[in-house]
Structure 1
Amino acid sequence: MNLLNSILNWYFKKEALPYWCMFLIDTATIFFSGLFTYWIFNKTGAFIDHRFELLYTLLLYVLLTCVGFRIFHTYSGILRYSSFVDLWHVAMSNAVGLALSLIAHFTMEYLHVDKIGILTLTETCTMFLIATLAMWTIRVLVKMLYDVILADKKAVRVLIYGAMEGAVGLAKYIRTQQPAKFVLMGFIAHEKSNENRLHHVRLMGKKVYNTQDNLAHIIKKYGIKGVLISPTRTKDFQNDREMQNTLISTGVKIYMTISAHEMQVENGKLTDSSLADIKMKEVSVEDLLPRDEIQVDMNSVGALLRGKKVLITGSAGSIGSEMVRQIAIYKPAEMMLIDQAETPQHDIRLMMSNEYPDIVAHTVVTSICKEKRMEEIFSTFQPDYVFHAAAYKHVPMMEDNPSESIQNNVWGTKIIADLSVKYNIKKFVMISTDKAVNPTNVMGCSKRICEIYVQSLDKAIKDGKIKGITQFVTTRFGNVLGSNGSVIPLFRKQLEAGGPLTVTHPKIIRYFMLIPEACKLVLEAGTHGKGGEIFVFDMGEPVLIADLAKRMIQLSGAKNVEIKYTGLREGEKLYEEVLNEKENTKPSFHEKIRIAEVRSYEYEEAQQSITELYQISAAYDDMNTVRKMKEIVPEYISKHSRYEALDQK
């Protein structure tokens, strides 16, 4: 037994046997199949009496069969990875060998060569049938030994969620991994409509389970430690909350393919290139949030930006940095990247030099509030397009620092917008927030004032009151998953510290979107916008933050971690609105993007109000600053804030 284990370990640790070893194994199989066949059909005495004729005949037949080996390359396969295609090639190569051997038999018979052709037609056919079965058996046994006996003891027993082509492709992939990371134990039907059809069905020799089966019992019974999500069924699983809860409650790890939404699928099947690039990762809570896949026409974005000069403010932030990456793909002529955070901006500088060395990228550390510096940048760089992502965004911070929110968010936006008009920028795209709708806090109101100003400026250009060509487009959306300072990174830090996870209120809800998806929608809205629009993104279904916290605790496997409710913060509300209730929307060029119909402001009024607001903020009197903000935005009603006193009639 020890000798056998040594031999098997020696073989399976090798990449593959040399071609000549495989060739010798196959030729030996043909030869000994001939000996065995002749012995079956004839007595032992005849076998001994005609041993030389039999030897010459079999040597000729083996030589002729080598033609089939060469045509179908049966010796070039790796036995442990044999598939149906390999078995088919063996059968076809032996069919060629049989045909050539029969031709040789009749030729020798016609030429009356007695030393060759001792096998009858029946014996020759039987010989090749036995040889084919023997060669198949060798390949199947080696594969079984590799898959079962010598499987990596550390390999995780898994089920695959999905029972169609994508799942089978994934199953084939994990079986070829070396060393093996997963051991396939079965499949889970991905939708109820398939359950009756797939009940008691086996795929690749493994059972298909459905929701009627007691999956928790099955997982425990067979020692299942993980579930792999088929790349073609990611969306189904994200929307299958019941299945998620069942699996998480058992403690199994859930794995998804990295960038599954980008994998190429044709007719429900993964392409060969996608199968070659599969990489699995353990899921995070972001992966489990239900959301529809967003399709964006990035070709039109590329056509707009290719070869142009692009300026991005807030380039080191969560949204701004992703905008940099997505725009750089389309090879703009130059990029001007502005942010006041030195270290994150340095990271952007390194990223551009490493990943996009062919693009001229200027990384500037400065504030958008420095009017002379901004003037110098615009006059020398002369951008074609401006994407304005710079802003203070944290609600509690701005609640304590309203003057700073005005000087950075509002006055900084005014500076960039005015310079865009002065230097004939083609399009100015501003990133706003759902907190600007019926604002209850300083940050949200500051962004609403920004919206008012750029819309009024666009209207003034169209009305001929201001000379310019710039089109001003605003995009408005909610929280992005994993952004700096957002709730998910906070929960992760609290989990690492052993808890508790802090949630402000048990009923608080928020909308979430992936950063890359949000940026793609920003780019498409900016491409199609004609100026003056406020584009509102469909954020999908809202998420209860308390449920998000519970799910993260479950996924982490941590025990005895509590959720602590701390009470709503200043300016915080239970839910965010994407639109003011007095506003209507109309459809746009994209099903996930709508256009808000908002009250328009005259430019002179907006400019005067904002100038007065800026002057008031210079005194750093919080109450006076917020009072003026409420005059400009009457729907701004403070919540859980000291500024509620200003709302009392």
Structure 2
Amino acid sequence: MSHPVSLQGDWRYSRLRNRYLALIDAALLPLVAVLAFTIRFEGTAWYEDYGRVLSMYVGIAVPLKLLVMWRLGLYARLWRYASVHDVEIVSVAVLGSAIVTSTVGIFLLPLLSVVPLRVPLSVVVLDALLGAMAVALPRLLVRIGLRRVRRRFVAEPGQRRALVAGAGAAGAMIVRELLDNPQLRLLPVAMLDDDASKHGRRLHGVPVAGTLDRLDSVAASLHIDEVIIAMPSAPGRRVRDVVSRAHRAGVPTRTVPGMFELLDGRKSVSALRSVQIEDLLRREPVRTDLVRVRELAAGKTVLVTGAGGSIGGELCRQIVRLDPQRIIAVGRGENSIFELLEELRRLAPDARVQPVIADVRDENRMEALFRAARPSTVFHAAAHKHVPLMEANVAEAILNNVHGTAVVADAAWRHGAERFVLISSDKAVRPSSVMGATKRLAEGVVQRYTGDPGRHFVSVRFGNVLGSRGSVIPTFLKQIQAGGPVTITHREMRRYFMTIPEAVQLVLQAGVLAEDGEVFVLDMGDPVRIYDLARDVIRLSGLEEGNDIEILEVGMRPGEKLYEELFFDAENASPTAHPKVLRARSATLALDGPVGLDQLVAMARRGVPVDDLRAAIKLLVPEYTGVPDRPMHATARLSVPEPEPGRRPARALAQTGP
């Protein structure tokens, strides 16, 4: 419970309004002029000769000073929250008023012959300097007084003692917020930072006690109740280390938002939240060339397939900020598209977003859509992505991931799209799964659209996306909520991870780097062991492995690999203008061999045996390892049947090029 005395002190300072400060200025500024004359003449003997000069100078200069300071906004500020910017305002206001009153005292009064003598230059200078002090001091006292009152309030018994990890700009802002907002009931008692030049110094009165490696000992010696991580741009491994040390010390952690949340404008530095798994995996912030990315969408029609999914939805959220003429959001699920549409309306109420419920495999629907919309840029994110599910639904993976890509790419090419970006996967490299193999085939489809220097069809390959539907983190959290166990397939399994905003920023960047048929690969840092990820999620849930939740190894599922790769051996990886985007010149797939794409799609439609579909995929993607060691059935070698009545075969599947 707060004490009335402290609250009354806070009230007194917060109610010291600008009108009272104006009255204080009006009282002090004439005294300043008298003091300037007294200092100049070392006493009061000057009054006989300069009394009239003083009266005229004060009568004209003081109202002018007040007017100048009012016009410059000195009486429209909340001085209890004064900052460096407010000091700048005071300086500008005082300088402006000094120029005006100097003109009055040195030139105007003698020119009008209203006084026998001009104001001495030294008096004008002293008046300006002393006036600056007279104006700044009351405002500074408001700030200091309120800070002292609030410090007494925060320091009362029952307050939680906080240790701030990071003594940079974010740490300084957090300390100041805690001191200025007693309702948070957190007292910053120390800070830690790896910059040795800050050690032994004070930031807003809070000492910097050493490096982050001292967190355990400092937390114990100062009886810390909470650690606040104020390092929005720190790499994930450093955040992970801080969280681990705090956990060993038995102290909970919170953090400021990461750099992506800050750049996106959705969070501010002062918005504390619980540490999330994204914080433990984050890397150096992506530097996006916003000028070139804006050219991708500004004033243009952009079409996104799979817009109801994690990547497609985030593409729409980021594109809507680039001032497109129109966004066409294509998806099969009406609920997910509805939710996306509502969110985009909140983000950009004036943006034109056209929701389209459609299946990318529907050739006639895609043809009509592209003919009417004629988008300049297409992001193709619609795909089946779950490896075990696609192992059990091979035909569906072929029809959606391969045929759907061909239908959309063909419509985009024929109706003048300048750029087409396929969202691919690292599982397309030496694929062991149907999902990976169909993604590799989709890359092959996109590679066929070359030859026009003004149009660019490319693929972007990246790994697992944190927080996407059905991904590992939400699965772990559900298992923890159910009481466990947390299941992993293999203790040594490793995967590349990216956050959704990070992946989409790099997809947009790759879109502007596109030339002809490339596969772009995003720099995802080092792969992460899934077992370590499971332990981190358990710890962040406030539990301990072994005591509260077990981690159970259940064995690898069909189509899975221990390690994912980013490049084929034959691919020539080269840097691009962006340090986080690599260009891979992939070998072109032979999509018109004994069993071509036409035949593969026809087989999937006819429902031939699954093993025959796998064997057909193997003929098109020789690196695919998920095929049984036996020949295809004779039925699988049959030629492609005639199209069904009313069905138009996709042009991209029937030709060697566009």
- TM category (shorter chain) comes to 0.7 to 0.9
The answer to whether the 8 A contact 1:481-1:514 is kept is yes
| 1:530 Cα deviation from its structure 2 partner | 1.4
Deviation at 1:436, TM superposition (A): 0.3
Per-residue CA distance 1:233-279 (angstroms, 9 max, x = gap): 63257536443321232233333323534658xxxxxxxx9998632
Unpaired runs of 5+ in structure 2? 30-58, 99-132, 633-658
CA distance in 1 between counterparts of 2:506 and 2:214 reads 42
Mapped to 1, the partners of 2:226 and 2:368 lie a distance apart of 57
Equivalent of 1:614 in 579, 582, 601: 601
Q: Among residues 571, 574, 578, which one is paired with 1:590 in the alignment?
A: 578
- CA distance in 1 between counterparts of 2:214 and 2:346 reads 51
Contact 1:79/1:143 (<8 A) preserved: no
Cα distance 1:29–1:454, how it changes in 2: closer, same or farther (>3 A)? Answer: closer
Determine if the alignment matches structure 1 residue 506 to structure 2 residue 514. no
CA distance in 1, matches of 2:160, 2:631: 60
| Residues in 1 aligned to 2:608 and 2:242: alpha-carbon distance in whole angstroms | 54
Match of 1:234, SS?
Answer: coil
User: Are positions 1:223 and 2:214 aligned together?
Assistant: no
List aligned pairs for 1:10-409, cutoff 5 A: 10-12=8-10, 15-18=14-17, 140=144, 143-149=147-153, 156-177=160-181, 179-189=183-193, 191=194, 194-195=195-196, 197-211=197-211, 214-231=214-231, 234-235=233-234, 238-239=237-238, 241-261=240-260, 263=262, 278-409=270-401
1: distance between equivalents of 2:363 and 2:139?
Answer: 80
Shift of the alpha carbon at 1:571? 0.6
Pairwise CA distance, 1:316: 0.6
Residues 78 and 629 (structure 1 numbering): CA distance in 2 closer, same or farther, change over 3 Å?
closer
CA distance in 2, matches of 1:536, 1:69: 62
Quote the Cα distance in structure 2 between the aligned partners of 1:366 and 1:323. 18
Letter in 2 for 1:252: V
SS in 2 for 1:635: coil
Question: What whole-Å deviation, never above 9, does each CA across 1:466-498 have from its counterpart, x for those lacking one?
Answer: xx9753211111111111111111112222222
CA deviation string 1:411-467 (max 9, x = no partner): 111111222222232222111100000000010001111111221x224x46xxxxx
Q: Indicate how the Cα distance of structure 1 residues 275 and 341 shifts in structure 2: closer, same or farther if over 3 A, else same.
A: closer
Rate the CA distance shift 1:505–1:154 in 2: closer, same or farther, 3 A. Answer: farther
Kept after mapping to 1: 8 A contact 2:200/2:210: no
Q: Tell me the secondary structure at the aligned position of residue 375 of structure 1.
A: helix
Contact 1:414-1:450 at 8 Å conserved across structures: yes
Check whether the contact 1:308–1:384 (CA below 8 A) recurs between aligned residues: yes
Of 154-163 and 403-412, the range deviating more from structure 2:
154-163
Aligned to 1:431: 423
Partner of 1:548: 533
1:204-236 C-alpha deviation (Å, 9 max, x unpaired): 3332222487532331343322222335x6325
Secondary structure of 1:302 counterpart: helix
SS at match of 1:209: coil
- Aligned with residue 452 of structure 1, among 444, 449, 467: 444
Distance in structure 1 (CA, Å) of the matches to 2:454 and 2:137:
78
Q: Give, in angstroms, the shift of residue 632 of structure 1.
A: 0.9
Structure 1 contact 248–555 (Cα < 8 Å) conserved: no
Q: Following the alignment from structure 2 to structure 1, what is the Cα–Cα distance between the partners of residues 281 and 629?
A: 39
When residues 454 and 161 of structure 1 are mapped into structure 2, their CA distance, relative to the original with a 3 A threshold, is: same
SS of equivalent residue, structure 2 residue 574: strand
Per the alignment, do residues 288 and 470 of structure 1 end up closer, same or farther by CA in structure 2, a change over 3 Å counting? same
Matched residue of 2:208: which SS? strand
- Aligned residue type for 2:149: L
Identify which range, 469-478 or 279-288, moves more after superposition. 469-478
Say which SS state the counterpart of residue 596 (structure 2) adopts.
helix
Residue 153 and residue 522 in structure 1: after superposition, are their counterparts in 2 closer, same or farther (change >3 A)? farther
Give unmatched runs, 5+ long, in structure 1. Answer: 31-62, 97-128, 265-272, 463-467
Distance 1:403-1:594 versus aligned 2 partners, 3 A rule: same
Change (3 A) 1:21 1:529: closer
Greater Cα shift, 544-553 or 144-153: 144-153
- 2:566 alignment counterpart: 578
Q: Which residue does 2:43 correspond to in 1?
A: none
More moved, 571-580 vs 202-211: 202-211
Relative distance call for 1:339 and 1:155 in structure 2 (3 A) is farther
Q: Classify 1:575/1:181 alpha carbon distance in 2 versus 1 (closer, same or farther; 3 Å).
A: farther
Q: In the alignment, is the contact (CA less than 8 A) between 2:164 and 2:191 conserved in 1? A: yes
Q: CA deviation at 1:504?
A: 0.9
Aligned pair in 2 of structure 1 residues 237, 175: CA closer, same or farther (>3 Å)?
farther
- Asked if the contact 2:6–2:153 (Cα under 8 Å) also holds between the matched residues in 1, the reply is no
CA contact (8 A) 2:239 2:279 kept: no
SS at match of 1:239: helix
What's the TM-score, normalizing by structure 2? 0.75
Matched residues in 2 for 1:327 and 1:357: separation? 14
Q: Tell me, yes or no, if structure 1 residue 493 matches structure 2 residue 478.
A: yes
Is this contact kept in 1: 2:26–2:66, CA < 8 A?
no
Separation (CA, whole Å) in 2 of partners of 1:305 and 1:141: 52
Deviation at 1:366? 1.8
Task: Verify the 8 A CA contact 2:571 2:584 in the aligned structure 1.
Answer: yes
Range 534-543 or range 380-389, more displaced: 380-389
How far apart, in 2, do the equivalents of 1:603 and 1:237 lie? 42
Partners in 1 of 2:218 and 2:276 — Cα distance? 24
Q: In structure 1, what is the Cα distance between the partners aligned to 2:213 and 2:439? A: 52
- Please give the alpha-carbon distance, in whole angstroms, between the structure 2 residues aligned to 1:162 and 1:394: 39
Instruction: State the shift of 1:285 in Å.
Output: 1.2
Q: Does 1:9 align with 2:10?
A: no
8 A contact 2:377–2:420 mirrored in 1? yes
Please tell me whether the aligned partners of residues 361 and 400 of structure 2 are also in contact (alpha carbons under 8 angstroms).
yes
Q: Determine which of 496, 500, 505 is the counterpart of 1:520.
A: 505
What is the RMSD computed on CA atoms of the aligned residues? 4.4
Instruction: Find out whether 1:558 has 2:558 as its counterpart.
Output: no
Distance across 2 between alignment mates of 1:416 and 1:86: 56
Q: Deviations over 1:274-328 (max 9, x none)?
A: 9986322221011121422211212112123222222211111111111111222
| Conserved? CA contact 1:173–1:275, under 8 Å | no
CA drift at 1:501:
1.3
Q: Does 1:535 find its partner at 2:535?
A: no
| Aligned 8 A contact 1:239 1:291 in 2 | no
Report the number of matched residues.
569
Name the residue aligned to 1:600: 588
Secondary structure of the 2:162 match is: strand
Contact 2:10–2:146 (CA under 8 A) maintained in structure 1: no
